[in-house]
Structures are given as C-alpha cells and as structure tokens.
Amino acid sequence: MIIPNRAVQILLGVTLLASFAHAQADKIVPGATYIRDATMTTRDGVILVMDIILPKGDGPFPVMLWRNPYNKDGVTNGEARQFVEAGYAAVSQDTRGRFKSQGVWDAFRYERNDGYDTHEWISKQPWCNGSIGTAGGSYLGFTQCISGPEAHPALKAMVPEVPWGNTYRDCLYWGGAFRLLLATFWGSTQQLADVGKPMPDFSDGKLFRYLPLRTWDDCIGEPVPYLRDWVAHPTHDAYWRDHEVGDRIENLRCAALYIGGWFDIFNRGVLEYWSAARTRAKDPEAREKQFLIMGPWAHGGTVEDGKVGDLNFGPQSNLKKTRTRMAFLDEYVRGMDTGFSQRAPLQIFVMGANRWRDEHEWPLARTQYKNLYLQGEGPANTAEGRGKLDWSAPIEEGRTDTYVYDPENPVPTHGGPLLWVTAGPRDQSAAERRPDVLVYTSDVLTETLEVTGPVRLVLHAASSARDTDWTAKLLDVFPTEDGKGVPYGIAEGILRARFRESDTKTSLIEPGKVYEYTMDLGPTSNAFVPGHRIRLEVSSSNFPRFDRNPNTGHDFGADAETVKAEQTVYRDRARPSHLVLPVIGN
C-alpha cells in the first residue's frame, strides 16, 4: 500500500482536525465575548486550558463543549461559531498534555476523569445555565463516550461522531491482531507533534515493516511510551481499564446522537456502544434517548456527492449533519420541541439498495442467520480458481485448499474500514491474483439478498506454525461484460490463532492440527442485487492495517525475523467452513 507522501500529509491534516472544524480565525461572531486560554484544575492538580465564547445577551446560557487533542483553536475559530450564533456558550479545551494544557500526553488514559472534572467546572460558572452538550468526532468522540457514563447531572446530551468506547477491542486490537496502521501512524504523529518534530515519511510503507514491534518507535527516532505500552499488553488485561467504558455504560443518563460509518475504522465500536446504551443503561428514560445514524462513510464522515472509495452511493447518502445535530441538541440541551425525540432510534443506510431505513435495535430482531458454505471442485487459489460459495453443506470428505503465508510478502491493505486515504469499498482484483488468497464465489444472484448485521466466518483450518493469522473479506461482485466482475470489499476481519478462545488468555496451536476458528468480519448493511455475486476471500494477512504474524509463536512484539507457514483450509462434510450471513427478508 504505497501512496504519495502528499496524500499522507493530507490525511494527517484530517486527523489533526478530527473535530471536523474549519479553522478560520477571521470569523469572529459579532457581539460575542471571547475568553482565550482560560484555565481549570483537575482533581489531581493538572491545569487544562480552554477557550470560552459567550454569545450576545445576559445569560446564563446552555453550553457546548469540545475536548480536543488536536488544538482547541480549530474549534474556537470554526465549528463553535454556529452554536454561538444559535445562543450557546462554547468551550473548546486542549486535552491533558496537548498544546496549552499541562500534564503528560498519554493517549486515552485520562479522558474519563478529566471529562467529568470539566463538566463539573463548567456547571459552576455563572454563564452556564446548568445544561451542557458535547460534540466532536474521532478522538473527540471518544472523550465524550468515555466520560458520558460518569453521569454528571449537567451533561444533558452528547454527539459523538465516528467514536468508540472500548479502546482495546474497538480501536487498537481486532481478533488479537494489532491494528498496526492506526496505532503507529496516528500514535507516532501525535507524539511527534507534541515535541515539535516533523512527521516521518510513511508513503512507501517501509516504516510499517520495522521489527521488532516492541521497539517500533526506534525507527522514527522519538520514544512513544504509550505505543510501547500498547504492544506490551496484547491481551485484554487490567492495563486497558482506564482506556474503556466497560460496565460503566449502565450509568449513562444523558441523551446521545451517535454518527458512524460502515467503512469507518470504529464501525463496530459505535454500534456496540449505542446498543449497550439502549439495552443496559439503568435509567429507562436514558435508554429511549439514544440515537444512531450509520451511513456508507469512511472516517471522514458524510460525503456530499455520495462517492466513497470506488463506489458512489448517491447524493441521498449525504447526511445533513449541521441541521440534524442542531435539532437534537436544541431538544435535549435547551428543552425545545424540535420533534427529534419522535425519530427512530436507529437509521441505517442500506448499500446496494442505496436508501435509508429506520430500525430499532442491533442486530435487527428479524435477522435470519444463514450459512453460506465454502465449496469447489478444485483449488480456490486466486479469482481464476474453482472456489465456490453454496447454501448447501458439503457432502464430500477430504476437500481442502492450501497456500503459503509469507510474512515478508503480505497481502497489501487496499480499502476497507481504516484510517487512510484509500479507505472505503475498493476493487480487490489485484489481491485476488495472489496465490495466497483463496477466493470463493456464489452463483449469480437472481433475487436481492440483504445482509445487515454482524458477519462471521467459521473456518476449519490447520497451519504448520505454532501461531498464525486468518483473514477474511466479504465482497460484492459487480457484473461486467466479460463475466469476470469487479469485487468490492464490504466487510473484513482477522483472527490470530492464539486468540481463538479468548482475548484475555492466549493458547498456541499444535502444528498440523485442525482447529475451528470463529472470525468476526464486522458489521455491514448491503443489498446484493440481481446480477451480482457474493464472494469471500480467505488469507493470512491484511498489511499494514494489521501487523504481520511472524508465525513463530514467540511473545508478541519480540520477533525481528519471520518464518513462512503452510496453511490448509478444510471445507468438507466433517469440517464445513462457512460464512454466517445476517439475512434480512424483503
């Protein structure tokens, strides 16, 4: 995955403005009072710095808050304006250890308590009327999600965009595999910005290949302590407690409007957070005030013309975010009747059908889980192979597919839910020409098949290694005149063999022994329409979205060298590997 360095710089700019603000210092709200670099002190004595904007009038006012690691000035001079013009006071704060705020920058760790302390401080100011709303995307969404369940009485509503709530499972690890691109690119660039050093060149992909991972920061010449901590804790252990919501979701009391995307890197996290809030919050009223909008977007959010990746979902996929968000906040922060409470709690965009639909739970209650079995009369290697997907279970014995996984020649990441300029549904034809990619394809569909929900793969497989990875992609094959079709990735996942039973305790595998692996491919909503085909790719790498498994079985992050692994996938009567699709009837 090599892209021009200019594109990487543009992406970094997006991450540094993850509040989705457009900083325009010359746009000062007429009549508003600007209090720059105000300070507050947290419970452990750290001084946090913020800008405060008070609208015209005597006050007190409802307050909008952004807690931002990417420089408070971007919100102060940008996104805050629309709220101040609407009569809200606005507070934009540098999070701990960032820009003008004091303390140590340790990503994710302090946001729960610092968020609550900020709510407490604001609630006691004479310009606050006792009602606080919060906003922001990505990390700013996380700062809301982790502090919201602390249930400060002044916090009335939050709008987390493309957020997550549990950092280990939703952000840094998936199926035991390390989200290398996100962790190293985002983690290192934030640290370098913090110490005033230039961004390294990620454009040719060489930095992602550096081993051992436990000392990856050596390759950028700047220690990143929290990055080393993430690698040192590959299981879901006590280290992650300060980085996640966990059972505290039960204490959530405020209203919330979550905005997520099917191709956002945190797609699974936002759905799980919303679903937990809707079903586990102790306060029945709070449950009814949880809303989620899931569209066909990547991490940057809604797109006006509807084009995401290589596909165009039409202008109807564009969310009128400003209007929607304001209607929600006016109702739940200001107590106005905007009619927002009458909306369905879940709005999803069904790709393929390219339309919005109201729902009430996740997964959908009417879901029928159907198995689509891996079959074929010959080897499934490459798209030219003979791999098939069939609704009938296999009846033969001894059917297998084999390939060699070489960590020095991994399958390149191209598209999917990731923090990169190539995110979104992308043509996977290049990957399907590789012999280490197994390809299984259904017959041409004669009726629409809607797949909405979490997708799983049950894989029966053996490896020559003591530990290895299994990867999978669900694809929608669009028809072409030559009959080959173009495969676009819809959902994908990974499972590290030693994590097959649990993410809290690992167990190596016995070389040559067949194991059953249940792999999470994440959530989607896609209508496979007549003329299209359903496809599955199986391999052992998706790099650099995930780190390369060196196949040694050694402690995570320790290896500087790798070995090849001979992989065997079973698809016979005794070991029927299969997709589990969440099918929704018409």
Name the 3-class secondary structure at 482.
Answer: coil
**Would you say 444 and 564 are in contact if contact means Cβ atoms under 8 Å apart?**
no
- The single residue of 114, 264, 401, 427 carrying the catalytic annotation is 264
- Got the DSSP string for 213-264? GGGGGGGGTS--HHHHHHHH--SS-GGGGGGB-GGGGGG--SEEEEEEETTS
Query: Which residue type sits at 533?
Result: R
Q: Using alpha carbons, list the distances in angstroms from residue 232 to 107, 354, 541, 574.
A: 15, 43, 21, 39
Residue 576 DSSP one-character state: B
Residues 6+ apart with CB under 8 A from 499: 175, 176, 506
> Active site includes 236?
no
Give percent helix, percent strand, percent coil of the chain, each to the nearest 5.
Answer: 25, 30, 45
Q: Using alpha carbons, list the distances in angstroms from residue 385 to 185, 378, 379, 438, 535.
A: 36, 7, 6, 8, 13
Work out whether strand 177-178 and strand 565-570 pair parallel, antiparallel, or are unpaired: unpaired
Residue 397: Cβ within 10 Å count: 9
Gap between the Cα atoms of 204 and 197, Å rounded: 20
- The single residue of 92, 101, 131, 138 carrying the catalytic annotation is 138
Structure-block tokens of residue 497: 């063999």
Gap between the Cα atoms of 296 and 294, Å rounded: 7
> Active site includes 37?
no
> Active site includes 264?
yes
Residues 6+ apart with CB under 8 A from 13: none
Query: Which residue type sits at 518?
Result: T
Query: Which residue type sits at 582?
Result: P
Gap between the Cα atoms of 162 and 302, Å rounded: 11
Intra-chain end-to-end CA distance of the chain, in Å? 39
Question: Peptide bond before 212: cis, by omega within 30 degrees of 0?
Answer: yes
- The single residue of 243, 299, 414, 532 carrying the catalytic annotation is 299
- Got the DSSP string for 344-410? -SEEEEEBTTTEEEEESSSS-TT-EEEEEEEEESS--BSTTS-EEEESSPP--SS-EEEEEE-TTSP
By annotation, the residues acting in catalysis are 138, 264, 299
